[in-house]
Structure formats: structure tokens, C-alpha cells
């Protein structure tokens, strides 16, 4: 890997690994073994397309697994060799208060705008991709299908200005505490910074999500723990963070999300009944 190259793990893989595990909308696609050979007859062309799509997704997932394994080896070596030191969120809070060490927040704007550490410097390594070209739209669809609808994690792209932004604000000998939401993107950032010549790097293990309220001085409308959740899982209160909060808050908190769940079923049922009625109406028109 060249000295200033981006780690081989791409932004879509980072997004998926950084999000909570969600049910896949592709789970209903039958296994390849259930299809006949694609050349047997014309009616099976659509099945052939599904086979190619599934095979392509399997190849992509396999590549992401290999990339992640390679990245993990590099990051483990980086920490083992002492190039990056580990801090817990509580230790990071002490370092900021007592030693005035700066905290570099590398999260995307979708997380940063919800909550941030007071006095921290923001320089996202991956940012929300708002472009609508063919390639970006394809990635947005893939991200949504692979769990974005559930976790709320947006499509992200590597910010090519990340290093230059950091270099504008901090010299190479600065002691930098690097943090993201869960601790994955900050490791990628540490690798880039280390290869760029930064020698005093501290990684917040577990990310800002692992911080308790008293660990770090916070600003923003939400707790740091909740800054990374979204999508349907957040709406229904099914994230790990919300379940922990529910256990603390009691029945009032549970009733709120139970009511939302009932509402989702009511809306889904109404849509289903409406679709049936439209289908019958169209069928009556064709029959006449």
C-alpha cells in the first residue's frame, strides 16, 4: 500500500460494517440451486438474471470480507507496534480536560449534527454522498437494499480532502485523539494519518457510542450513544442503545415504541387492503 493510499476497504463496506445488523431485503431470493440451467428455455431468462445478480452480490460480499480481513491485520499491527495508542472514552475525556489534547471527529455529517464532543475538530473521512449520477444512484440502491432501510446509514463516499483538512489544522507532531461513532472509521483514519507522518495518535476504542454521559462534554440535541442510529430500527426502538434506554426508563418508554409498532402494522394492513381493492377494480374493468 502506498504511503498515502486509502485503505482497501471502501466506503460502502465501512457503512455496512458500521451499521447495525439488519434483515436483508434480498433474503427472499431463492438459492442458485433451485433454478434450472439458464439455457433450457426462454421463460427462464428472468431467473438467469436473478442468478447473475445473486452471484454478483456473493462475489462482492466475498471481496468485502477479504478487504476487511486485510484491513484488520493492518490495524492490529498498527496498534501492536505502538503507532496508535488506545484510549477508552473515559480516558479520552480525561486527556481532553487535563492535557488539553484535541479530539478529531471523523464521523459523517449525518452523525456529527446530532451530537458532538465540545471543542472537537470535525474532519470526516467519509461523508454523505449527495450526488445523483448513475454510479452513485446504484450505490444508494445497493446500500438501501443491504440494510440502509433498517439502520438508516446513508451512502458514504471517501472525502479526498480529509488529509489536507487535518494538515491545515494540526502539525505532524500534534497529539491527536481520533474518534468516530463505533470505532471502525476512526481506525481507517488513524492508518491514513499514520502513513501521512502523524506519530502521536490516540484511538477511542468503541467509538463515541461507548461513552457514558459523564465521560465527555457533549453538545447537540441527542446523546452521543444515539448519534449513529436511524432508519426503521430507530423509529421502532429496536436498536441496542434504545433497548438499554428502555430498560432504564421503564414502561413509559416501552409504550411509546409499542404504539409505533402497532401503527406500522395498521398502515401496512391498510396499504395491503387498498392494493387488493385496486386489483379487483382493474380486473373488473378488463372483464367488461
Burial 270-286 (b: 16+ CB within 10 A, else e): eeeeeeeeeeeeeeeee
Q: Helix (H, G, I), strand (E, B), or coil: what is residue 215?
A: coil
In the block, which residue shows the cell 496508535?
A: 84
| Contact in structure between 123 and 169 (CB atoms under 8 Å) | yes
Helix, strand, coil tally for the chain in percent (to 5): 55, 10, 30
The set of residues, in sequence order, having a beta carbon less than 8 Å from that of 248 and lying 6+ positions away, is none
In the block, which residue shows the cell 373488473?
A: 284
**CA nearest 11: which of 52, 58, 71, 56?**
71
DSSP string, 198-254: --EEEEETT-GGG--TTTS-EEESS-GGGTT--HHHHHHT-SHHHHHHHHHH-HHHH
Catalytic residues: 180
Amino acid at each position: 500500500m502506498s504511503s498515502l493510499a486509502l485503505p482497501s476497504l471502501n466506503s460502502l463496506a465501512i457503512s455496512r460494517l458500521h451499521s447495525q445488523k439488519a434483515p436483508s431485503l434480498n433474503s427472499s431470493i431463492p438459492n442458485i440451486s433451485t433454478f434450472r440451467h439458464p439455457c433450457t428455455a426462454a421463460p427462464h431468462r428472468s431467473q438467469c438474471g436473478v442468478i447473475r445478480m445473486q452471484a454478483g452480490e456473493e462475489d462482492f460480499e466475498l471481496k468485502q470480507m477479504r478487504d476487511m480481513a486485510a484491513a484488520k491485520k493492518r490495524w492490529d499491527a498498527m496498534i501492536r507496534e505502538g503507532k496508535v495508542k488506545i484510549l477508552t472514552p473515559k480516558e479520552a475525556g480525561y486527556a481532553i480536560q487535563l492535557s488539553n489534547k484535541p479530539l478529531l471527529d471523523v464521523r459523517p455529517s449525518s452523525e456529527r449534527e446530532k451530537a458532538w464532543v465540545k471543542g472537537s475538530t470535525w474532519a470526516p473521512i467519509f461523508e454523505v454522498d449527495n450526488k445523483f449520477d448513475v454510479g452513485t444512484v446504484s450505490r444508494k440502491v445497493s446500500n438501501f437494499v443491504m440494510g440502509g432501510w433498517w439502520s438508516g446509514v446513508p451512502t458514504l463516499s471517501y472525502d479526498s480532502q480529509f488529509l489536507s483538512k487535518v494538515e491545515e489544522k494540526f502539525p505532524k507532531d500534534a497529539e491527536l485523539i481520533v474518534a468516530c461513532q463505533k470505532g471502525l472509521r476512526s481506525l481507517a483514519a488513524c492508518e491514513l494519518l499514520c502513513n501521512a507522518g502523524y506519530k502521536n495518535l490516540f484511538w477511542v476504542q468503541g467509538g463515541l457510542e461507548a461513552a457514558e454521559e459523564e465521560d465527555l462534554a457533549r453538545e447537540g440535541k441527542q446523546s452521543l450513544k444515539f448519534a449513529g442510529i436511524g432508519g426503521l430500527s430507530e423509529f421502532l426502538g429496536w436498536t441496542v442503545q434504545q433497548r438499554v434506554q428502555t430498560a432504564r426508563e421503564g414502561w413509559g418508554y416501552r409504550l411509546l415504541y409499542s404504539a409505533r409498532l402497532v401503527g406500522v402494522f395498521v398502515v401496512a394492513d391498510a396499504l395491503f387492503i387498498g392494493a387488493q381493492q385496486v386489483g379487483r377494480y382493474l380486473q373488473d374493468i378488463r372483464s367488461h
